[in-house]
Chains A and B, each alone.
Chain A
Amino acid sequence: MTGSHRILARAALAVLATVGFAASSAAADAPAAAGPLALVEARCAACHNSTDWAGGVAFDTLSPDNLHGDVEVWEETVRKLRGRLMPPPGEPQPTQREIDSLVGWLETRLDAAAAAAPPDPGYVGLHRLNRNEYAREIRRILDLDVDVTTLLPRDVFSEGFDNQAATLRMSPSFLDQYITAARTVARQAIGRTDAKSSSHEYRAPSSLDQSKHVDGLPLGTRGGFWVDHHFPADGEYVFSIREFFAMGAGYVTKVDHAHTVILTIDGRRVFQQTYGGPDDLKAVDQRQAIAADEIQNRFNQIRVPVQAGVRRIGVSFIQRSFAQSDSQLQPIAMLPEMERVPRIPGFTVAGPFDVTGLGDTPSRRRIFSCQPASAAEEPACARRILADLAAAAFRRPVNEEDLAAPLSFYTRARETRDFEAGIEGGLTAILSSTRFLLRSAPALTGDEAQPLTDLELATRLGFFLWSTGPDQRLIELATAGRLQDERVLAGEVARMLADPRATALVDNFAFQWLNVARMGNFQVDPTLYPDFDHNLRAALREEIRLFLGDTLRADRSVLDLLRSDTTFLNERLAQHYRVRNVRGDQFRPVRLTDVNRHGLLGKGALLMATSYGNRTSPVLRGVWVMDTLFANPPYAPPPGVEQFPENEPGKSMGTVRERLESHRALKSCNFCHGVIDPLGFALENFDVTGAWRDRDLDANEPIDAHGRLSSGVEVTGPAELARAILARPDTFVQAFTEKLMTYALGRPLRAQDMPALRRIVREAAGQEYRLGSLVRGIVASDAFRKRQPPEEGEPDGTAHVAHAGAGR
């Protein structure tokens, strides 16, 4: 709230007395206007008043007749009440009925005021493609998979998402890397016969368990790893399987038995060689390092002809029978070289050598819609190719002006070399253009909200549901001016949700909403969790991906996210979850009998994402539940709070719970932690890796998973927590929808957006809160379909405040 706003609000002070704020003990059956607000007077105004200004809010300065005028404060009031964050724990609490009545009263009035006011869709300005969208756009335009992590810098997250327009800024290093990326992508897409050889080194993650089959490699193999590698041209490539055997402290190991190493390209074996066995063992015994060198040399300089394109390179061992024993036991080693069988630590690919051509890659097929038979045909063909590429890249039909730069780049590059180099130049220009890099560039006049153009809507839909620009069909409908026809639009939304590209909603939206990435960001303490390895981490991530995909893509109720008894397991993960009779590496749907594993709260990936490497954190988990499932994150702790006491060697610190008891002691801590900690305590039966535990091994105490939520509901364990959340489904669904809408719009929601949000949720209730119903609601909203003219005033891209009051 701005200063001037507050002064105006204060001027309205006098109004308050007239609506009975003085009434101290309001009953639920008091007169409609005075009754609910009497609760504010009784339970809130003792701190939130114009003397104390607690949290920058003073209810005695607000007029109940003009809620819309103070919409930020009232929406924040609703949010805090809904989440039972206020009144804070330790203070006298109203009943749930009293709160519901007040919230209902406020929401009804706020919604009615918004409905009466002119549409306020908010403003999303210049919106740059993020790294992820860039990669998907390259796939859409050029049918080419690029490793975007090596090309572009990481994007800044805001509101939990990497697609928020206001934070996707441009800096010299960004621009520099986008130009380099354009060049690299153009070259990869077209290929080059005179490509200079280069080498790439790939290393297996050091905790990858190679004692069993690795998913993605041919069946019948053990261990190893694979990568998708871009081969720039048809030709010879040289592979070296480096440091192939571990020599712990100089001793050549694991040569006792013969193992067969194979190199595969797209699943086809191109090299096979034996490692170990009696001869090697003898040689190593007699000549140590010299013999080791000789053995290594068998795996160096492996020349293989490969055709251009992205191909999967796999290096692994041929699996031996059980009788020959490849150690079917779990590796007990903490370090890879202690495994009982050899592993593949890494390999290099060098090339191309002796280039024979550029082959027939998908991207070349996409690009070269014509091939000039003579120099005279070149200009027309170039124009055709570049016009097609520019239209795809710019997400709209192109005009002469759009083609000016690509054609001049073509001409300049054509002069230095050949036709294909010219196309490469033109493509570089297209991919460097802001017309490609900016997914929207609004240009508006006037001061009323205006609907998006059809093409803008197509682009917004594409990035929302697919994380890419619109496909050909959407562009055609938009160009024909038919996309805003509600029936056509509904059909397109349904089509897009059913399309495989809608997995972007899982991989981008849902993963970011749930902050799944954090599970991969820390090392798990191997002394506490010796059986944790790369394979388990990968399995946990795959489970959550499949689980989310199953619920979201099948258009089920989003409440199933919290209650579904079906998940996806492979053998490794089933063991981790103590589920019987799941064999092999492949994931398959499994019905879970253990109710504590149902839904998101039982998913190891999320439990890991909310832990530290050496201990669980009820605080992290509680904050995660509040932020993710309630869209009601607590404020950051005040400066100067003490760090969590760490374990000291040889000294038991007691359970994590005991250590957090200190939060109770201090009133100022308890205000937030009284809400946060019980949510986390309910999940304490899950350890750092998401495995079930009955005892805290650190403290050697039984786990106490009991907590009293701020609503007063008592829960013990994950299943009861899930039930408590599901008891008020609209809170969860509204939180989910708020996150989805933030992602869809590329901007944080404002207080002004809340009436629309509530309407979407209300309307979806009749459709069991299916994902589709929420998506349709968002697509139908003014915020999605219209745009506010740019504000005059301070040019400040970060002016949005997610939750009113958060800035104070």
Chain B
Amino acid sequence: MFITKKHLSRRTLLRGLGASVSLPLLDAMIPAGVALAQTAAAAKPRLGFFYFPHGAVMEQWTPAATGRDFELNYINAALTPFKDQLTVLSNLGNKPGESRAVHALVPATWLSCVHPRETLEPYMAPTIDQIAAKHIGQDTPWPSLETATAQGQGTGSACERGYGCTYTGTLSFANSTTPLPVESNPRQLFLRLFGQGDSAAERRFLAEQTGSILDMINDEMSQLNRKLGPRDRNTLDDYLASVREIERRLQNNAQGDLANLTLPEVPGATSENFDEHLRLMFDLVLLAYQGNLTRVQSFMLAPEVSEMTYNHIGVPDAFHAISHHANDPAKKDRLAQIQKYHVEVFADFLAKMRAIPDGEGNMLENSMLLFGSNMSNSNAHNQFPLPTTILGRGAGKLRGGQHIDFGRRTPLANVHLTLLQRAGVPIEQLGDSTGAVTEI
């Protein structure tokens, strides 16, 4: 059985739930002729790509032991409750992410493993979240969601002349030339995901009102239809098809996964409290999975070259400034503290995920989440060895509970390739990959 063009048009619609639609997103649509078995019928894991900037203090990140019997290191201590769900990967490198431009390139090259062309206009390759979205994201309202805690480009020095500014503000490229914008405003994200309206009652009222609008348009169109020529009937058909698609979506919202979801209150103005903002974004990421609104997400925990201070955990230094620690042990400790904090917030998110029943197990169990950075030692700006951990066992597709040390430098692309394959994406090669990792 094959997915028809009709399917495409539905995807187009559902994309349109968002506040704005940019045409390049259409590239993320499923190619014609993909067998349905690969997309809808087979169980599809949830994928997530969680990025933190400025690498990690590796000696406080990497577990001392390898194999299945290991203790998590200082930074990752909060992940201990999820030890059976996680895979720590050591000795990974991302050669294509290397350049003198560093911060300007590392976010977007993390998931592409392709070195961008040195032009001001974006030119790279699609990132793995987008490759996955084409295959497993087509039957959810959004093939993928891209979120962050800060909008757009990083601060000035994250933009490097020669490469332009397009690789630093997002993790996701839909295709070679289309960086995807990120949403960092929790309120906007909420309205985009769950519809306009500040309360459940208002959302219900508005959904009902939308139904009435569609009825009204239907009436107007059928009056027109009697008087029009065939060429105009085409336009009319467009209208009526649009009406039907939106009706179907309204029904889905009223009766589908979303109906069973208890939504929190709509966020108001963006908080200046980073901790609050970060946790709120994680909550929305979780809700998007839970409501089956999307299966693929990328999320930047903090912007590249963030100069934010972390006073709330007792680190008064600016994040990027202290990341240039000059090997001063005291500074490295404070940097590790920031990194440990990011892991802790992530762990809270994992705990919530694990508490949600899903199929045979729980949502975490059935997911594949990549947690890491595309920099190793922030003082050296290098791309080896990269801090990389996989969470979740992808409904049995991943072993979990181990620390794999490749022993020698291995392309990060191999891990990406493996994740895609396990998620059911037919792919043999990616960036500088040399083959899938069977141990994972």
Would you call A170 and B238 a contact (CB within 8 A)?
yes
Number of interface residues of B (CB under 8 A): 73
Give the nearest-CB partner of A293 in chain B. B309
Chain A positions within 8 Å of B228 at CB level: 125-126, 442-443, 790
Name, among B19, B198, B235, B243, the residue most crowded by chain A CB atoms within 10 Å (CB to CB): B235
Contacts A196-B266, A337-B157 known; A797 to B213 CB distance under 8 Å? no
A334 near B161: Cβ-Cβ < 8 Å: yes
Please encode chain A, from 143 to 178, with 1 for each CB lying within 8 Å of some chain B CB and 0 for all others. Answer: 000000010011000000000000001111111110
Contact A790 B229 (CB under 8 A): yes
B418 CB to closest chain A CB (Å) equals 35
> Measured between alpha carbons, how far is A238 from B272 in the docked complex, in Å?
11
Q: Known: A175-B239, A198-B268. Is A249-B157 also a contact (CB below 8 A)?
A: yes
Residues in B neighbouring A434, C-beta threshold 8 A: 217, 220-221, 224, 239
* Given A249-B320, A350-B270, A425-B209: A335 and B161 interface contact (C-beta under 8 Å): yes
Residues of chain A contacted by B219 (CB below 8 angstroms):
405
Distance between Cα atoms of A613 and B272 in the complex (Å)? 38
A171 contact from B22, B209, B242, Cβ within 8 A: B242
In this assembly, does B59 line the interface, its C-beta being within 8 Å of a C-beta of chain A?
A: no
**Looking at the complex, which one of B165, B224, B230 makes contact with A441 (CB distance below 8 Å)?**
B224
In the complex, which residues of chain B have a beta carbon less than 8 angstroms from the beta carbon of A441?
224
Check if A199 is an interface residue, CB within 8 A of chain B: yes
Q: Which residues on B sit within 8 Å (CB–CB) of A197?
A: 268-269
Nearest chain A CB to B159's CB is how many angstroms away? 7
Chain B: CB-nearest residue to A173: B16
User: How far is B324's CA from A246's CA once the two chains are assembled, in angstroms?
Assistant: 17
Task: Report the minimum CB–CB distance from B377 to chain A (whole Å).
Answer: 16
CB contacts under 8 Å to A, within B219-247, are 219-221, 224, 227-236, 238-239, 241-243, 245-246
Q: What are the residues of chain B within 8 A of A251 when measuring CB–CB?
A: 321
- Measured between beta carbons, the chain A residues less than 8 angstroms from B316 are 289-290, 293
Interface residues on A, range: 35 or more
Q: Are B236 and A206 in contact (CB under 8 A)?
A: no
- Tell which of A203, A206, A796 has the most Cβ of chain B within 10 Å: A206
Inter-chain contacts of A793 with B (CB < 8 A): 230
- Contact at B239–A335, with CB atoms within 8 Å? no
Taking the complex as formed, is B262 at the interface, i.e. its CB lies under 8 A from any CB of chain A?
no
Known contacts: A170-B235, A175-B242. The answer to whether A199 contacts B270 by CB under 8 A is: yes
CB distance from A336 to the nearest CB of B (A): 5
Q: Are B230 and A335 in contact (CB under 8 A)?
A: no
Nearest B residue to A237 via CB reads B269
Which stretch from A522-530, A664-672, A683-691 is at the chain B interface? A522-530
Chain A residue contacts of B32, Cβ below 8 A: none
Determine whether B307 belongs to the interface, using a CB cutoff of 8 Å to chain A: yes
A288 CB to nearest B CB, Å: 7
**A345 CA / B121 CA spacing, docked (Å):** 22
Question: In angstroms, how far is the closest chain A Cβ from the Cβ of B259?
Answer: 20
* A630 CB contacts on chain B under 8 angstroms: none
Q: A residues 394-438 with Cβ under 8 Å of B?
A: 405, 408-409, 412-413, 416, 425, 428-429, 432-435
Residue of A175, A182, A293, A526 most packed against chain B (CB within 10 A): A175
A554 within 8 A of B: no
Q: Is A789 an interface residue (CB 8 A)?
A: yes
Contact present for A433 and B236 (CB under 8 Å) = no
Interface residues of B in 291-345 (CB under 8 A from A): 307, 309, 311, 316-318, 320-322, 324
In the complex, which residues 240-294 of chain A have their Cβ closer than 8 Å to any Cβ of chain B?
Answer: 240, 243, 246-251, 288-290, 292-293
A172 contacts B227, C-beta separation under 8 Å: no
Do B229 and A125 have beta carbons less than 8 Å apart?
A: yes
A786 vs chain B, min Cβ distance (A)? 16
Residue-wise, chain B 179-208 has the 8 Å CB interface mask toward A (1 for contact) of 000000101100000001010000001100
Asked if A444 is at the interface of the complex by the 8 Å CB criterion, the answer is yes
Q: Is B416 an interface residue (CB 8 A)?
A: no
B270: nearest chain-A partner, CB-CB: A199
Are B307 and A247 within 8 A (Cβ)? yes
Closest Cβ neighbor of B212 among chain A residues: A409
**Bound CA–CA A650/B205 (angstroms):** 66
Known: A170-B239, A433-B217, A443-B224. A126 touches B232 (CB 8 A): yes
A247 touches B321 (CB 8 A): yes
* List of B residues within 8 angstroms of A125 by Cβ: 228-229, 231-232, 235
Asked if A169 and B238 sit within 8 Å, CB to CB, the answer is yes
Of chain A, the residue at the smallest CB distance from B239 is A170
Contact for B227 among A289, A348, A408, A444, CB less than 8 A? A444
Binds A, one of B7-15, B78-86, B132-140, B425-433: B7-15
B230 touches A790 (CB 8 A): yes
Give the distance in Å from the alpha carbon of A130 to the alpha carbon of B309 in the complex: 46
On chain A, the residues within 8 Å of B322 by CB distance are 250, 289
Binds A, one of B39-47, B148-156, B388-396, B405-413: B148-156
If A126-B236, A526-B161 touch, whether A289 touches B321 (CB-CB below 8 Å) is yes
A335-B185 in contact (CB<8A): no
Contact with A along B271-303 (1 / 0, CB 8 A): 010000000000000000000000000000000
B159 to A335, Cβ gap below 8 A? yes
* Contact present for A290 and B309 (CB under 8 Å): yes
* Chain B 1-41 near chain A by CB (<8 Å), digits 1 or 0: 00000000100110111011111000000000000000000
Contact among B23, B156, B238, B309 for A206, CB-based, below 8 A = B156
Q: How far is the CA of A45 from the CA of B324 in the complex (A)?
A: 75
* CA gap between A405 and B217 in the complex, in Å: 10
Q: Does A794 contact B (CB under 8 A)?
A: yes
Q: Is B210 an interface residue (CB 8 A)?
A: yes
A522 to B245, CA, bound (A): 36
Do B231 and A791 touch (CB < 8 A)?
yes
A91 within 8 A of B: no
Set of chain B residues within 8 Å of A526, measured between Cβ atoms? 161
Residues of A within 8 A of B16 (CB): 171-174, 176-177
Verify if B261 is at the interface (C-beta below 8 Å from A). Answer: no
Asked if A301 is at the interface (CB within 8 A of a chain B CB), the reply is yes
- B186's nearest neighbour on chain A, judged by CB, is A199
Given A150-B19, A173-B16, A198-B269, CB of A248 within 8 Å of CB of B156 = yes
Whole-angstrom CA separation of A431 from B320 in the bound complex? 49
Separation of A789 and B164 alpha carbons in the complex (Å): 53
Q: Is A335 within 8 A of B156, CB to CB?
A: yes
CB-defined contacts of B23 to chain A, threshold 8 Å: 154
Q: Are B159 and A175 in contact (CB under 8 A)?
A: no
Contact yes or no, B272 A248, CB < 8 A: no
Residues of A close to B229: CB separation below 8 A:
123, 125, 444, 789-792
A201 within 8 A of B: yes
Taking the complex as formed, is A183 at the interface, i.e. its CB lies under 8 A from any CB of chain B? yes
Judge whether B235 and A172 touch: CB under 8 Å.
no
Residue contact A249 to B324, C-beta cutoff 8 Å: yes
- Among candidates B13, B162, B209, B220, residue contacting A173 with C-beta atoms closer than 8 Å: B13
CA distance A789 to B228 in the complex (A): 9
CA distance A527 to B230 in the complex (A): 56
CB distance from A689 to the nearest CB of B (A): 14
A172-B16, A201-B185, A337-B156 known; A289 and B318 CB under 8 Å? yes
For this complex, 7 residue pairs linking A to B, each with C-beta atoms less than 8 Å apart, are: A172-B12, A173-B15, A174-B242, A203-B152, A289-B321, A433-B216, A435-B220
Give A residues with C-beta under 8 Å from B.
123, 125-126, 128, 150, 153-154, 169-177, 179-180, 182-184, 196-199, 201, 203, 206, 238, 240, 243, 246-251, 288-290, 292-293, 300-301, 334-337, 345, 348, 350-351, 405, 408-409, 412-413, 416, 425, 428-429, 432-435, 441-445, 522-523, 525-527, 613, 789-797, 799
Given contacts A176-B13, A444-B229, A523-B120, 10 further A-B contacts (CB under 8 A): A172-B246, A173-B12, A175-B239, A177-B16, A179-B213, A250-B324, A289-B316, A434-B217, A434-B224, A613-B120
**Nearest 4 pairs of A and B residues by beta carbon:** A790-B229, A173-B16, A250-B321, A443-B227
